[in-house]
Structure 1
Amino acid sequence: MPARDAFVDLVLGGRCAGCDRPGVTLCDGCRGLLTRLTPFRAWPDPRPPGLPPPTASAPYADEVRRLVIAHKENARYALARPLGGVLATAVSSALGKRDGAWLCPVPSARATVRQRGHDPLRRITKAAVRALRRQGIDARIADALRVVRRPDDQAGLSAQRRTANLDGAFALRSRWAETLTDQPVVLVDDVITTGSTLAEACRALEIGGIPVLGCAVLAATRRYSASGS
């Protein structure tokens, strides 16, 4: 357990970030829950144009939602490894029979990373890569995208307004263009809501000549169709 999490558990008496039971950062019950998740196709409704097939490991609710927030906003670093396992489950499902892929995380603005004190998605993606490699999948992280225009806060925006808000927000880092050419690429994020962020990130990759195999996320909000169509 990272020193910060051990300190929090010591000072606050220790509570599970998922269910708030007294104890450690992640109790056995919540840890077991994360290992029993079944990935599903999480198409937003409506679908944004250009979004490759998105796969989620869980609905964004209850324990999973609390764990994502605790890691992202409260810097509970010890949660990166179990959440990385959750993301790895979605990636593995998205890959099907393929035995390898580059995982490209959706980037955050530098100011957001500074404010949080860490880059939660990249930390989780690195943990997912390690989990996938333990399963024999040749996974690698590709920091191929950068934020070129910081969008406004997405909270409360409709799907259409989110799409407009994100237009031109990302760009491909040119040094990755040759590396990712003709390679399987999976775009990863923590949560899918309208799919606008993923669609815009995919567009940035594809403009640079990098097609995206699919998207994998930890969780999907209730704004999805699980029909698989």
Structure 2
Amino acid sequence: MRGWWQELVGLVLPVDCAGCGAPRAVLCDACWEALCGRAARRVWPEPVPPGLPAVYAAVAYADEARSVLLAHKERGVLGLAGPLGAALASGVRAAADVCERDMRGTRDMRALRGAQGVRSSRGRDVREVGGVGVGVAGGTRENPRLVLVPVPSARCAVAARGHDPSRRIAQAAAGELRRAGRSAAVCAVLRQRRPVADQTGLGARQRLDNLAGALEVAAGGERLLTAGPVLLVDDLMTTGASLVEAVRAVAAAGGRVAGAAVVAAPARAFGVSST
């Protein structure tokens, strides 16, 4: 029993930094800075799959960031959810800032149309993101609630790991945003509706085919997608196939994704332009 307990403590509270191996630290100051100390940037996979929303990533998937993500996901070092959530929150802020600028532009246009005597066909106060009305319930006009929707892992992977990494990091990110005064909530409404093959070794086109139609919004989740701007969140983007399928599933339920944020993306994705 003592040996089992020591092994469990070693997994949850490792004595070495998950990023660089420095002793007596779950995550040392240098690795924390490497993970959380930079502003998120827009990233594009190569090739860019059709239907991919604007994606923002905090760091490149290399070195300390790669080690920390793998330690959290595969070794169950749950104490790393906090710093990973802080990194994800940086991407969420970047995506939300763009979304809010678009909403302000829409409000200005509506005010102009109102001054010209044009009324909304619905006659009620809504915000529009990409042409879809989004309510402001749970937030304010100046601080609308951000709806963070995690991209789910395969059920077998969650069972094997004993936790859902993306959902745990999303919850940490929402907490980070709320502490900074930004309204945010995690709505884990996506689920797998059919089994998918292991993505390891699959190319970009194969991943899209593998995931096509694999996700759905759980019953009753549709109304949660209207509580504010919907932002997809995940720990890692490689080809963008998972995000594309998540966008399709949300759209099938009547929602619209305003953007996406991830902790990390391949280094080459930071240097690719959308044009």
- Mapping of 1:199-210 within 5 angstroms? 199-210=244-255
Alignment match, 1:127 = 172
Q: Secondary structure at 1:129's aligned position in 2? A: helix
Other-structure match for 2:84? 83
Q: CA deviation at 1:85?
A: 0.3
For 1:124-203, list aligned pairs within 5 A: 124-181=169-226, 183-203=228-248
Aligned residue for 1:174, secondary structure, equals coil
- Distance between the aligned counterparts of 2:257 and 2:150, measured in 1? 12
- Matches of 1:225 and 1:146, distance apart in 2: 29
Show the counterpart of 2:17. 16
Which residue is equivalent to 1:46? Answer: 47
For 1:211 and 1:218, locate their aligned partners in 2 and report how far apart those are by CA, in whole Å: 22
Identity of aligned residues (%): 44
User: 1:118 aligned to 2:120?
Assistant: no
Q: Name the aligned partner's letter for residue 19 of structure 1.
A: C
Deviations 1:37-81 (A, max 9, x none): 221111111111111101101100000010000000000011001
Identify the residue that residue 35 of structure 2 maps to in structure 1. Answer: 34
* Residue of structure 2 equivalent to 1:7: 9
In structure 2, distance between residues paired with 1:204 and 1:149: 13
User: Unaligned stretches of 5+ in structure 2?
Assistant: 101-142
Q: Which amino acid aligns with 2:167?
A: R
Task: Name the amino acid aligned to 1:102.
Answer: V
SS at structure 2 position matched to 1:175: coil
Tell me if the contact between 1:149 and 1:169 (Cα under 8 Å) persists in the aligned partners. Answer: yes
Quote the offset at 1:146 in angstroms.
0.6
Look up the equivalent residue of 1:183 and give its one-letter code: G
Shift of 1:127: 0.5
* Alignment correspondent of 2:97: 96
| TM-score normalised over the length of structure 2 | 0.77
* TM-fit CA distance, 1:182: 6.5
2:62 aligned partner: 61
The structural deviation recorded for 1:174 is 2.7
Q: CA deviation at 1:203?
A: 0.6
- Taking the aligned partners of 1:44 and 1:18, their CA distance within structure 2 comes to 25
CA distance in structure 2 between the aligned counterparts of 1:188 and 1:78, rounded to whole angstroms: 19
CA contact (8 A) 1:45 1:225 kept: no
Q: Which residue of structure 2 aligns with residue 217 of structure 1?
A: 262
Question: In 2, distance between residues paired with 1:225 and 1:25?
Answer: 28
Distance 1:11 1:173, change over 3 A: closer
